[in-house]
Structure 1
Amino acid sequence: MEAKFARVNMIDFLSEEALAEVQNRYVNIREKTYPGLEFTVWVRTGPQSMMTLSIYESEEALLATTENHQELIASTAEFVKDIFFYEGGVSGLASTLVTDGFVTFDNAK
């Protein structure tokens, strides 16, 4: 398996509604905006906060999306209190989870 590269975002939103709005926008632009993206998971860390993990097929694919990622951040600034992200090589990966496209989960239960 070729080396994979990842981007981890830590996001605090202004409200739960703001979080939902940004997630809905992401679903609609993911394929076009993030070519080379193989895996995405959003972890709700609080009512208004999210950690996202995106894994790319290569370092080149990750770097090719950096400008698009910064544009997405700028376009959602009205919904976000704070955001920062890290990028780096994936040192280990295992998954039995397979999805068709971006799947969201309702963890409010």
Structure 2
Amino acid sequence: MHFGAFKEKIEACHICAAYCDQCATQCLQEDEVHKMAECIRMDIQCAQICRLAASYMAQNSEYANDICQLCADICQKCADECAKHDADHCQACAQACQQCANACASIAA
């Protein structure tokens, strides 16, 4: 595939990473931050894999499909975790993660 074929997927990864960063930061400001520990952990891991996947796609790496499959799996887990929480930032993050999971899964398929 060429860069243009990855463009929307790369954008989804960057958007997801930004929402995960925002969600983790806002979760740290919650009154009972210990209840948000798993959400924060998943946000951090998801943001990292999204940035890695975007980079591999931009390079048209032969490993892009494998990284995208892993990214899709982690994004789905992050979406599921964030969806458990009522905070607006968690719900927005869950939506961005779900969109990225779908985008990355379509590349890996």
Same fold (TM over 0.5): no
For this structure pair, what is the TM-score category when the shorter chain's length is used for normalisation? 0.3 to 0.5
Structure 2 length normalisation: TM-score? 0.34
Say which structure, 1 or 2, has more relative contact order (CA 8 Å, 6+ apart).
1
Structure 1 length normalisation: TM-score? 0.34
User: Which structure shows the bigger proportion of residues in helix conformation?
Assistant: 2
